[in-house]
């Protein structure tokens, strides 16, 4: 069939436009490859080439950008409680390691607590600023992390054609996933990307149950409710390990000088302030025979619940009950403002002998806790103290202190008040001694001594004696504590 002249001219014009457009695009690609990134490039006039006639490669955006890498300093931030310097005790990373947000970087020891520092960036560690046992100041850099910066501006050449995504293709979250370092380690063990896991925690935080549910392909099941055992299980006493042999004394050949650690420096500052307080002492003896029998009845029951029961939880609870009657002993004195602050919460601090030295963590809000709950908190603090893992919150906020020096030995002591508190008690060793009963017969009794120190600027001797008598009455008749417990 013959084609009319107008039709042949229209087809020739269209073909010439396609050839011209292809030539322009080839020259443009050549230009991109030989020019600097960001240089101006010729743009195609709109309408010269319709999408259905354009080749497939012309429908994709051409980009000449590369990711830019930058190194950021990760500084030691303020960890509170007036801490200005810390000692680096352990590094969890080394140069070349890849880290993500919230991954553990190092553990530092201050004069108040042991703190684990976590990463704020995703990247690669390029430098560690301190060796183990090095001293770092607040605000100084700890590590350098190489992170991927913002990509350079891409130079679009033609509009990118939208590609349809298959409906069965999983969509990954392009957000920072919230998860603890322990959960991240679990995800690495199962080769699971946290971006693929649906977090059920607060603010979408991924929990270990979410990891398990993702691996099993099911939604996370709720945790079973705790049900106490109906009958106590028989206990098999664990064999007692023999005491370690006493090391032989070593004679020093010459004097040795070493730098004081954070615990010693903190103790020095505290004792300097304590020397400004006019102390007065008061001592007494407490017959704990009834408490010894009560503890023997409850010890096995507490063990079935996973808690080791000592005498200390009863002593701590008796202290709190007596403080309800004598709130002046649970106060703090401000000599500059000439005010006394009566603390509503009984945060009983308990001195502990740890491998790091003397630490005094506190049991918070004892007035609201049962004896069993106090025992559980004491177990937790003792385990953390032995491992050097006590946090700043554990070590701060005490309003009244007790020192169980009798667990090591000795009877009477002269405890030193920990400012800004106004009183402290030291418990001596419990001993079996002969005592006369009300009928006049001689019988053995378990007796413990106690030594109190109080701030004589706001507490007089009569108040301290009355408080001690009430505290003593609770311990000598432990059943009476039930009457006053909230």
Asked if residue 51 has pLDDT above 50, the reply is no
Tell me the pLDDT tens digit for each residue of 227-249.
Answer: 444 444 444 445 556 666 777 88
Please pick, among 78, 133, 334, 460, the residue that the annotation labels catalytic. 460
Q: What per-residue confidence (pLDDT) applies to 445?
A: 95
Please pick, among 28, 122, 287, 456, the residue that the annotation labels catalytic. 456
Lowest mean pLDDT among 16-25, 139-148, 205-214, 283-292: 16-25
Give SS3 for 147.
Answer: strand
Lowest mean pLDDT among 151-155, 230-234, 441-445: 151-155
Lowest mean pLDDT among 298-302, 308-312, 331-335, 388-392: 388-392
CA distance 124 to 228: 48
Q: Which of 161, 126, 130, 162 is nearest to 146 (CA)?
A: 126
Give SS3 for 24.
Answer: helix
* Integer angstrom CA distances of residue 324 from 257, 328, 401, 459: 48, 9, 15, 16
For residues 281-290, average pLDDT: 96
In the chain, how long is the greatest CA-to-CA distance? 141
Residue 345: pLDDT band by 50, 70, 90 thresholds? very high
Domains and CATH numbers, the chain: 69-149+175-216 (2.40.50.100), 278-484 (3.30.559.10)
Residue 100 CB neighbour total at 10 angstroms: 17
Q: What per-residue confidence (pLDDT) applies to 102?
A: 81
Asked if residue 17 has pLDDT above 50, the reply is yes
Give SS3 for 141.
Answer: strand
For residues 240-259, average pLDDT: 79
Asked if residue 107 has pLDDT above 70, the reply is yes
Cis peptide before 97 (omega within 30 of 0): no
CA distance 127 to 94: 8
Q: Which of 1, 48, 8 is nearest to 25 (CA)?
A: 48
Residue 29: pLDDT band by 50, 70, 90 thresholds? very low
Q: Which of 127, 355, 344, 128 is nearest to 263 (CA)?
A: 355
Residue 460 annotated as catalytic: yes
Q: Which residue has the tokens 């039709």?
A: 7
Q: What per-residue confidence (pLDDT) applies to 37?
A: 43
Q: Could you give the angle at which helices 312-325 and 461-476 cross, rounded to 10 degrees?
A: 130
Asked if residue 104 has pLDDT above 70, the reply is yes
Q: What per-residue confidence (pLDDT) applies to 137?
A: 85
Instruction: Identify whether the C-beta of residue 86 lies closer than 8 Å to the C-beta of residue 388.
Output: no
Helices and strands (H and E) in the chain: how many: 10, 18
Residue 215 CB neighbour total at 10 angstroms: 14
Residue 20 annotated as catalytic: no
For residues 282-306, average pLDDT: 94
DSSP letters for 445-456: EEEEEEEEEEET
Phi first, then psi, for residue 116 (nearest 5°) are -95, 125
Q: Could you give the angle at which helices 289-304 and 461-476 cross, rounded to 10 degrees?
A: 60
């Amino acid at each position: 069939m013959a084609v009319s002249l107008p039709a042949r001219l229209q087809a020739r014009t269209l073909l010439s436009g396609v050839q011209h457009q292809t030539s322009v695009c080839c020259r443009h690609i050549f230009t991109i490859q030989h020019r600097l990134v960001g240089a101006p490039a010729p743009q195609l006039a709109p309408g010269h080439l319709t999408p259905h006639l354009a080749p497939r490669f012309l429908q994709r955006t051409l980009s000449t950008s590369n990711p830019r890498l930058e190194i950021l300093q990760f500084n030691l931030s303020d960890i509170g409680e007036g801490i200005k310097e810390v000692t680096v005790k352990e590094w969890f990373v080394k140069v070349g390691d890849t880290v993500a947000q919230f991954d553990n970087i190092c553990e530092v020891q201050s004069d108040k607590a042991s703190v684990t520092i976590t990463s704020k960036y995703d990247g690669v560690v390029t430098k560690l600023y301190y060796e183990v046992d090095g001293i770092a100041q607040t605000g100084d850099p700890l590590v350098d992390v190489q992170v991927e910066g913002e990509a350079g501006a891409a130079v679009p050449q033609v509009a990118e054609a939208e590609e349809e995504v298959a409906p069965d293709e999983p969509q990954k979250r392009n957000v920072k996933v919230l998860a603890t370092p322990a959960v991240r380690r679990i995800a690495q063990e199962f080769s699971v990307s946290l971006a693929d896991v649906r977090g059920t925690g607060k603010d979408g935080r991924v929990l270990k149950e979410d990891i398990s549910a993702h691996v099993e392909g099911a939604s996370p099941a709720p945790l079973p409710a705790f049900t106490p055992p109906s009958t106590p299980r028989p206990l098999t006493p664990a064999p007692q390990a023999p005491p370690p042999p006493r090391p032989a004394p070593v004679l020093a050949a010459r004097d040795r000088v070493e730098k004081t650690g954070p615990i010693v420096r903190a103790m020095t500052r505290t004792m300097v302030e304590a020397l400004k307080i006019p102390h007065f002492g008061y001592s007494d003896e407490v017959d704990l025979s009834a408490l010894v029998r009560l503890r023997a009845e409850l010890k096995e029951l507490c063990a079935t619940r996973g808690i080791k029961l000592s005498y200390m939880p009863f002593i701590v609870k008796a202290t709190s009950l007596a403080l309800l009657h004598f709130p002046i002993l649970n106060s703090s004195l401000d000599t500059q403002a000439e005010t006394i602050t009566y603390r509503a919460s009984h945060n009983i601090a308990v001195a502990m002998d740890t491998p790091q030295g003397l630490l005094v963590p506190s049991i918070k809000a004892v007035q609201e806790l049962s004896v069993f709950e106090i025992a559980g908190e004491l177990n937790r603090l003792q385990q953390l103290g032995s491992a050097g893992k006590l946090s700043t919150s554990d070590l701060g906020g005490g309003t009244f202190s007790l020192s169980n020096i009798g667990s090591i030995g000795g009877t009477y002591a002269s405890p030193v008040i920990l400012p800004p508190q106004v009183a402290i008690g030291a418990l001596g060793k419990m001993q079996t001694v002969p005592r006369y009963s009300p009928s006049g017969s001689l019988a053995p009794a378990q007796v413990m001594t106690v030594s109190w120190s109080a701030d004589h600027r706001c507490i007089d001797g009569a108040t301290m004696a009355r408080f001690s008598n009430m505290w003593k009455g609770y311990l000598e008749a432990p059943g009476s504590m039930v009457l006053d417990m909230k």
